[in-house]
């Protein structure tokens, strides 16, 4: 029976609507008998599914809106208000129909993410390419992905190369070049190229599945406001029935009591908050920002203090050569090639940085014959080329080797250090010939992100780092941060956060999620920068940025603020509608049918309002600041 | 075993309760969760129950099921 009603819901609605129109025609023509019969029929046709739902909700001890409507319509029929009974039932079905259509749109933001999940995989079995269901792929099997194809599982490329769109994972649509040994993620799409990969993670273990799981959970995790409204509705509906009876008794006016029942329906109140969260969380996820639930949205929106880790968060986390000073007649290329040759033996990250820089610049002669190459721990390297002895290293190494450094070069060295650079001397036969500076570059979008955060309401931006003071000072100055604290141990970071919280500040901590895990857990909102999604980061944090772009942080913050605002607006719209309707009824301006119409309009209004949180232009999923600005204001 | 069922759009929050208690009563079912916003029902159960049985239970409650997928 229930299924039958569901299947024929639209037909019942159309029939009821048609009968109403016929009834209205006879109303104008003044034939009261036929008019009444058509209105009664309209009510009866439409009441079926409403009655059925009211009943099945009652069987699980839940008082539904349908129950209120059913009582009201039966009451209206008894007191011979056939016109109103017909109109109310039709409007209820029609409203439910519109609600379902629009609700599906707000859910689209999540649905479209789910739709990115791959279904089939092409696997090499016994030398032949076989198409199998995604669940049948085993770890270690070789999977083939052709141009335009979706990568079905996480894996490592064993053959071929390709340009890959990883937007399902990171929200970034910039193509990634990947080749042998590189990791690829399920849900990404190959733009051009061809790869064969070895499956490393399958099924629910893939990064994409985990993202989906998190988003699914987030979409159901209720905020405080939602929980309150749900509890409220549980008592509200039966209370309205009782109140209607009381009103009926006191006023001796059944019509008033029935009207009261209909207009007090909590429709907009119940749906207003969830639609906002679903639209907001879904849209954020699509842009590569996972916000874990409505409660996180609320806390995120209220943040006033932002604490940022330095390495890997504000900076790229990959040091690079920023400056080379030369004190003899060699060219920059020659010095770099020479240094790279000597640093070949080095395992230290500074040494690797120099080698990489030379490789990136495609310098030749980086492997000239070096004899007696040797690393000097925590100092640098040494080696002999063509009977010349070279050293590359820090001040300590120079002192130990009794190398005298001219004052001009010392001044260069100090000013480089003050810039936040790590500077290293290059010497040839006891004489300084160059100074090479290395720095972890500030992320391109860091300044923009910091400014956006400030604009959106973050009052205090602080950098906490374990790194040295010079490096920290420089970064803080460039980004215009309010405070920075350097050379901190993890527990000192925690103490700082606790102190801020004791001062009634709402603290957000942004870090790479692994060594910052305790601080992330302690703060009001922990944001992990987890490119490709490291497991620990994704689990401990409240918000996960799916790429290392800091811009995502600003997007998430803006989006949460907008979502919170829309949620509040919706709750406001719902409450004001109910109050106005009640007043309208009491003072006799509003009757059954008009009350129903306004009530349904308010339900649609809150859904439409939530739709403002969704992307307007699907192609442009990077920047929608203007849309969000509209929602935020 | 775990079965995921995709239903027609769920619109009323009371649907959650209805499906959860309806499926929860089925023998062999150990856990059921309804994801309202995703129109998705996830059921943990043993091999005495099949996905099709779960589907028909949910449909009897009034919610057409669009897709069923059972994994071991």
A416 and A302 housed in the same domain: no
pLDDT at residue A620 in the model:
43
Phi, psi of B66 (to 5 degrees): -90, -35
What does the pLDDT look like over A596-607, one tens digit per residue? 888 888 888 998
- Nearest residue on chain A to B56, judged by CA atoms? A3
Range from A25-39, A149-163, A207-221 that averages highest in pLDDT: A149-163
Higher confidence at residue A530 or residue B20? B20
Closest partner CB to A103 (pick from B11, B40, B61) = B11
Whether complex ipTM tops 0.90: no
C-alpha atoms less than 13 angstroms from C-alpha of A467 in its C-beta half-sphere: 25
Of the candidates A246, A244, A76, A97, the residue with the CA atom closest to the CA atom of residue A593: A76
Residue A621 domain flag: no
- B chain contacts of residue A60, beta-carbon cutoff 8 Å: 14, 17-18, 21-22
Confidence category of residue A515, pLDDT binned at 50, 70, 90: low
Nearest chain B CA: its distance from A165 CA (Å):
26
| Residue written as token pair 């699907």 | A618
Tokens describing residue A46: 């439409």
Closest partner CB to A2 (pick from B13, B37, B62) = B62
Q: How far, in Å, CA of A234 to CA of A226, rounded?
A: 12
Whether B37 sits inside 8 A of A56 (CB atoms) is: no
What does the pLDDT look like over A338-361, one tens digit per residue? 898 888 888 777 788 888 888 888
Whether B38 sits inside 8 A of A65 (CB atoms) is: no
Tell me which residues of A are annotated as active site.
Answer: 309
Pick from A536, A555, A574: which residue ends a domain? A555
CA angle A348, A354, A357 (to 5 degrees): 135
Range from A308-312, A320-324, A569-573, B34-38 that averages highest in pLDDT: A569-573
Closest partner CB to A96 (pick from B11, B18, B22) = B11
Nearest chain A CA: its distance from B36 CA (Å):
7
pLDDT at residue A436 in the model:
93
pLDDT at residue A94 in the model:
86
Nearest chain B CA: its distance from A57 CA (Å):
6
Helix (H) or strand (E) holding A321: strand A315-326
Cβ count within 10 A of residue A324:
18
Of the candidates A66, A85, A87, the residue with the CA atom closest to the CA atom of residue A76: A85
3-state secondary structure at position A323? strand
Nearest chain A CA: its distance from B48 CA (Å):
22
A391 and A340 housed in the same domain: yes
Residue A234 domain flag: no
Q: What is the DSSP string of A133-195?
A: EGGG--TT-EEEE-TTPBP-SEEEEEEEEEEEE-HHHHS--S-EEE-TT-EE-TT-EEEEEEE
Residue A103 domain flag: no
Please provide the size of chain A in residues: 633
- B chain contacts of residue A65, beta-carbon cutoff 8 Å: 12
A322 and A435 housed in the same domain: yes
- Nearest residue on chain A to B57, judged by CA atoms? A3
Q: How far, in Å, CA of A386 to CA of A371, rounded?
A: 9
Whether B60 sits inside 8 A of A2 (CB atoms) is: yes
CB A460 within 8 A of CB A305: yes
User: With 90 as the cut, is the pLDDT of residue A211 above it?
Assistant: no
Domain harbouring A359, CATH code = 3.40.1110.10
Confidence category of residue A618, pLDDT binned at 50, 70, 90: very low
Whether B17 sits inside 8 A of A233 (CB atoms) is: no
Pick from A509, A537, A555: which residue ends a domain? A555
Prediction pTM value: 0.73
A143 and A163 housed in the same domain: yes
Confidence category of residue A32, pLDDT binned at 50, 70, 90: confident
Give the domain ranges of chain B.
Answer: 2-71
Tell whether B59 is within 8 A of chain A (Cβ).
yes
A391 and A460 housed in the same domain: no
C-alpha atoms less than 13 angstroms from C-alpha of B64 in its C-beta half-sphere: 10
- B chain contacts of residue A7, beta-carbon cutoff 8 Å: 64
- B chain contacts of residue A6, beta-carbon cutoff 8 Å: 8, 62-64
pLDDT at residue A364 in the model:
65
Residue A266 domain flag: no
3-state secondary structure at position A223? coil
Q: Long-range contacts made by residues A499-507, C-beta under 8 angstroms, separation at least 24?
A: A500/A305, A500/A307, A505/A304, A505/A305, A505/A460, A506/A299, A506/A302, A506/A303, A506/A304, A506/A305, A507/A303, A507/A305, A507/A306, A507/A307
Tokens describing residue B4: 């995921």
Whether B62 sits inside 8 A of A100 (CB atoms) is: no
- B chain contacts of residue A3, beta-carbon cutoff 8 Å: 59-60, 62, 64
Q: How far, in Å, CA of A244 to CA of A82, rounded?
A: 20
Closest partner CB to B35 (pick from A66, A216, A233) = A216
Confidence category of residue A480, pLDDT binned at 50, 70, 90: very high
Q: What is the DSSP string of A339-356?
A: HHHHHTT--SHHHHHHHH
Whether A2 sits inside 8 A of B61 (CB atoms) is: yes
A134 and A178 housed in the same domain: yes
Domain assignment of residue A417, given as a range: 318-441
A398 and A469 housed in the same domain: no
Closest partner CB to B13 (pick from A2, A7, A270) = A270
User: With 50 as the cut, is the pLDDT of residue A623 above it?
Assistant: no
Whether B35 sits inside 8 A of A103 (CB atoms) is: no
Nearest chain A CA: its distance from B44 CA (Å):
15
Of the candidates A289, A246, A261, the residue with the CA atom closest to the CA atom of residue A548: A289
Range from A211-220, A533-542, A605-614, B14-23 that averages highest in pLDDT: A605-614
pLDDT at residue A626 in the model:
42
- B chain contacts of residue A98, beta-carbon cutoff 8 Å: none
Of the candidates A51, A36, A44, the residue with the CA atom closest to the CA atom of residue A2: A51
Nearest chain A CA: its distance from B49 CA (Å):
21
* Chains A–B, number of C-beta pairs less than 8 Å apart: 69
Nearest chain B CA: its distance from A16 CA (Å):
21
Tell whether B36 is within 8 A of chain A (Cβ).
yes
Tell whether A115 is within 8 A of chain B (Cβ).
no
User: With 70 as the cut, is the pLDDT of residue A627 above it?
Assistant: no
- B chain contacts of residue A111, beta-carbon cutoff 8 Å: 38
User: With 70 as the cut, is the pLDDT of residue A223 above it?
Assistant: yes
CA dihedral A448, A449, A452, A458 (to 10 degrees): -140
User: With 70 as the cut, is the pLDDT of residue B12 above it?
Assistant: no
A397 and A334 housed in the same domain: yes
Is the domain covering B2-71 a CATH 3.30.70.100 domain? yes
CA dihedral B20, B21, B26, B31 (to 10 degrees): 40
Instruction: Calculate helix-pair angle for A349-360, A332-343, nearest 10 degrees.
Output: 130
What does the pLDDT look like over B33-65, one tens digit per residue? 888 877 889 899 998 989 899 998 888 877 888
Tell whether B25 is within 8 A of chain A (Cβ).
no
Cβ count within 10 A of residue A400:
12
A300 and A448 housed in the same domain: yes
CA angle A194, A141, A127 (to 5 degrees): 70
A298 and A390 housed in the same domain: no
What does the pLDDT look like over A419-462, one tens digit per residue? 777 889 999 999 999 999 988 888 889 999 999 999 999 999 99
User: With 70 as the cut, is the pLDDT of residue A633 above it?
Assistant: no
Domain count for chain A: 3
pLDDT at residue A463 in the model:
94
- Least-confidence region, from A31-45, A487-501, A613-627: A613-627
DSSP state of A443: P
Average pLDDT, chain A: 84
Confidence category of residue A624, pLDDT binned at 50, 70, 90: very low
Whether A3 sits inside 8 A of B17 (CB atoms) is: no
Domain harbouring A160, CATH code = 2.70.150.10
pLDDT at residue A628 in the model:
43
Residue A570 domain flag: no
Mean pLDDT of A166-174: 75
A369 and A512 housed in the same domain: no
Question: CA A615: distance to chain centroid?
Answer: 13
Whether A111 sits inside 8 A of B35 (CB atoms) is: no
Closest partner CB to B14 (pick from A6, A52, A64) = A64
pLDDT at residue A631 in the model:
46
What does the pLDDT look like over A228-263, one tens digit per residue? 777 777 787 788 888 888 888 888 888 888 888 877
Whether B38 sits inside 8 A of A111 (CB atoms) is: yes
Tell whether A446 is within 8 A of chain B (Cβ).
no
- B chain contacts of residue A5, beta-carbon cutoff 8 Å: 62
Cβ count within 10 A of residue A153:
29
Higher confidence at residue B15 or residue A8? A8
A330 and A396 housed in the same domain: yes
Residue A80 domain flag: no
Pick from A508, A536, A555: which residue ends a domain? A555
Tokens describing residue B67: 């897709």
Domain harbouring A548, CATH code = 3.40.50.1000
Whether A7 sits inside 8 A of B64 (CB atoms) is: yes
- Nearest residue on chain A to B72, judged by CA atoms? A135
Higher confidence at residue A142 or residue A209? A142
């Amino acid at each position: 029976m229930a299924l039958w009603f569901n299947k024929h819901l639209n037909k019942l609605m159309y029939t009821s609507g048609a009968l109403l129109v016929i009834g209205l025609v006879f109303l104008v023509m003044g034939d009261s008998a036929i008019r009444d019969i058509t209105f009664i029929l309209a009510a009866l046709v439409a009441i079926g599914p409403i009655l059925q739902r009211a009943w099945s909700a009652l069987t699980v001890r839940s008082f539904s809106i349908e129950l209120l409507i059913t009582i009201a319509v039966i009451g209206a029929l008894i007191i011979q208000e056939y016109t109103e009974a017909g109109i109310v039932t039709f409007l209820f079905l029609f409203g439910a129909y519109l609600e379902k259509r629009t609700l599906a749109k707000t859910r689209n933001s999540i649905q479209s993410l789910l739709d990115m999940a791959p279904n089939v995989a092409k696997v090499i079995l016994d030398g032949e390419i076989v198409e199998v269901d995604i669940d049948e792929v085993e770890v270690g099997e070789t999977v083939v992905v052709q141009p335009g194809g979706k990568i079905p599982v996480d894996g490592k490329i064993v053959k071929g190369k390709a340009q890959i769109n990883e937007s399902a994972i990171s929200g970034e649509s910039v193509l990634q070049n990947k080749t042998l040994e590189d990791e690829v993620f399920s849900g990404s799409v190959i733009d051009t190229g061809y790869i064969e990969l070895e499956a490393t993670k399958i099924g629910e273990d893939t990064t994409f599945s985990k993202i989906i799981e998190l988003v699914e959970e987030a979409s159901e995790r209720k905020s405080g406001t939602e929980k309150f409204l749900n509890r409220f509705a549980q008592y509200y509906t039966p209370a309205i029935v009782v109140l209607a009876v009381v009103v009926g008794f006191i006023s001796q006016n059944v019509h008033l009591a029935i009207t009261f029942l209909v207009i007090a329906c909590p429709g907009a109140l119940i749906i207003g908050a969830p639609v906002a969260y679903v639209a907001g969380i879904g849209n954020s996820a699509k842009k590569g920002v996972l916000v874990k639930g409505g409660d996180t949205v609320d806390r995120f929106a209220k943040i006033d203090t932002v604490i940022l880790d330095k390495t890997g968060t504000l900076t790229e986390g990959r040091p690079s050569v920023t400056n080379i000073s030369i004190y003899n007649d060699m060219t920059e290329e020659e010095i770099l090639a020479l240094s790279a040759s000597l640093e070949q033996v080095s395992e230290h990250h500074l040494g690797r940085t120099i080698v990489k820089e030379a490789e990136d610049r495609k310098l030749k002669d980086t492997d000239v014959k070096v004899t007696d190459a040797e690393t000097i721990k925590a100092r640098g390297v040494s080696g002999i080329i063509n009977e010349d002895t070279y050293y590359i290293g820090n001040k300590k190494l120079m002192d130990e080797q009794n190398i005298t450094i001219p004052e001009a070069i010392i001044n260069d060295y100090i000013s480089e250090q003050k810039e936040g650079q790590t500077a290293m001397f290059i010497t040839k036969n006891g004489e300084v010939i160059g100074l090479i500076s290395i720095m972890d570059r500030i992320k391109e979008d860091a300044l923009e992100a910091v400014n956006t955060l400030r604009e959106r309401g973050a009052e205090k931006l602080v950098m906490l780092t374990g790194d040295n003071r010079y490096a920290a000072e420089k970064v803080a100055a460039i980004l215009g941060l309010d405070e920075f604290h350097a050379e901190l141990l993890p527990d000192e970071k925690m103490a700082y956060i606790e102190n801020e919280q004791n001062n009634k500040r709402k603290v957000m901590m942004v870090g790479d999620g692994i060594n910052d895990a305790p601080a992330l857990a302690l703060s009001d909102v922990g944001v992990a920068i987890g490119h490709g999604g490291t497991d620990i980061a994704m689990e401990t944090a409240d918000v996960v940025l799916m790429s290392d772009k800091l811009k995502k942080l600003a997007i998430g913050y803006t989006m949460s603020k907008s979502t919170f605002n829309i949620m509040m607006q919706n709750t406001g719209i719902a409450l004001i509608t109910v109050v106005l309707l009640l007043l309208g009824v009491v003072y006799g301006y509003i009757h059954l049918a008009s009350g129903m119409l306004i009530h349904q309009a308010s339900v649609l209004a809150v859904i439409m309002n939530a739709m403002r949180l969704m992307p307007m232009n699907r192609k442009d999923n990077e920047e929608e600041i203007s849309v969000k600005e509209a929602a935020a204001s | 075993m775990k079965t995921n069922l995709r239903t027609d759009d769920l619109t009323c929050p009371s649907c959650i309760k209805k499906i959860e208690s309806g499926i929860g009563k089925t023998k062999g079912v150990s856990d059921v969760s309804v994801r309202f916003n995703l129109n998705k029902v996830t059921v943990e159960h043993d091999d005495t129950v099949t996905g099709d049985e779960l589907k028909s239970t949910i449909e009897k409650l009034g919610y057409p099921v669009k897709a069923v997928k059972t994994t071991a």
